A = this chain, B = another copy of it.
Amino acid sequence: MQHRHEYLINGKRESGISPFDRGFAYGDGVFRTLAIRRGQLRTWTAHLKRLQTDCNALGIVCPSEELLLGDISKLAGDSSECAIKIVVTRGEGERGYAVPALAQPTRVVIKTALPQYPEQHYSSGVSLFLCQTRLGHQPRLAGIKHLNRLENVLARMEWVDTQVVDGLMLDTDGHVIECTMSNVFMRSGDTLITPDLSKCGVAGVTRQRIIDTAPELGYRAVVRPITLSELMDADEVVICNSLYGVWQVNHLASHAWPFGVLAAKLREQLSKEDDAVFL
C-alpha cells in the first residue's frame, strides 16, 4: 500500500517494526494524535503530559520531550498542516508476556495529511450512529489511550453510511462513555456533563481542555455516569477530539436535537488557549 506520509522509528527512517516489538505482539503501548496547523504543533504540552501519564500507568519509560519534538520537526519539514501520531511501546521482547528487564521503549512518529472535514460539520452539526458494541469495564486501563483498541475497531465496523461521522459507545452497563474517536459532552442548563471514565474509555486531551475551560464560558463542568436517556434529554450534545476540535451533534440514530451553539462557543474558547509549540 502506498502512503502519502512518512514515519520515524526511534528517530530513524526504518522500514518497519520488529514482530518482536511488544506493541505489535500485545498492544503493549500507548499513542496520541495531534495536529500541526500553520506550522504550530497544537496543544503540545497537554498531549505530552498525557503521553507521560499513560506511559507511566503501564510502566513504560516515556521518551523525552526533546527526542519527540526532534522527530516531529524532522518529519514535519516544510509541512505547515499535517497530523502527527506518536506511538510509544514497551519495546522488543522475547516470546511471552514477561517484561524484559532491559526493555527499551520504541517510539514511532508518523506524519499523515490532516483529514479534510466538510465545512457543514462545523456549520450544521453532525450525525452519530448508536453502536451495539459495548465497552467492557477494565479500571486498570480506563482513560489510557493504549494500543488495545479492538472494541473501537468492532464498533467502527458497524456503520458504512458516510454521512455518519462517529458512533456512540455505551459500556456493558448501558452508560454513555464516548464515541469511537471522540469524547462526548452534554449540556443541561448551565451544566456541562461528560461521562465518568474510571471503568473504560479514553480520556482525551480536548475533553480535559473543555472541562478546564467550562467556567470561562459560564458553565459548571461535571464528570459522572450518564445514561442514554439522559443524553437524549440533554439541551445540547457535542463531541470532540484533537483533530477536528468540537462538533455539535444533531442526530443520534433517529433522535434529533435542535441545533445549538455550544460547539461553536467551545471552539472559539479553545482557539484562544492553545498551548501550541512553533516548530
Say whether A96 contacts B17, CB under 8 Å.
no
- Is A147 in the interface zone, CB < 8 Å from B? yes
Question: B residues within 8 A CB of A156?
Answer: 97-99
Q: Given A16-B18, A19-B87, do A26 and B138 touch, yes or no (CB 8 Å)?
A: no
Q: A95 contacts which chain B residues (CB < 8 A)?
A: 33, 83, 85, 110, 112, 115
Q: Is A217 an interface residue (CB 8 A)?
A: no
Give Cα A155 to B157, complex, Å.
Answer: 30
The copy count of this chain in the complex is 2
Contact B157 A146 (CB under 8 A): no
| Chain A residues with a Cβ closer than 8 Å to the other chain, count | 61
- Shortest beta-carbon distance from A247 to chain B in Å: 16
| A240 to B133 CA separation, bound complex (whole angstroms) | 31
Q: Which of A1-9, A45-53, A207-215, A221-229 contacts B (4 or more CB under 8 A)?
A: A1-9
> Residues of B contacting A71 with CB < 8 Å?
none
A140 within 8 A of partner (CB): yes
Q: Is A153 an interface residue (CB 8 A)?
A: yes
Bound-state CA distance A90–B50 (Å) is 28
Interface residue ranges, A against B (CB under 8 Å): 1, 3, 7, 9, 14-28, 31, 33, 58-59, 83, 85, 87, 90, 92, 94-99, 108, 110, 112, 115, 133-134, 136-138, 140-141, 146-157, 172, 180-181, 200
Known contacts A20-B110, A148-B149; 12 additional CB pairs below 8 A are A19-B87, A22-B153, A23-B24, A26-B152, A58-B154, A83-B95, A85-B95, A94-B112, A96-B115, A141-B150, A141-B151, A147-B150
Q: List 6 A-B contacts (CB under 8 A).
A: A17-B18, A26-B150, A26-B153, A97-B153, A138-B151, A140-B154
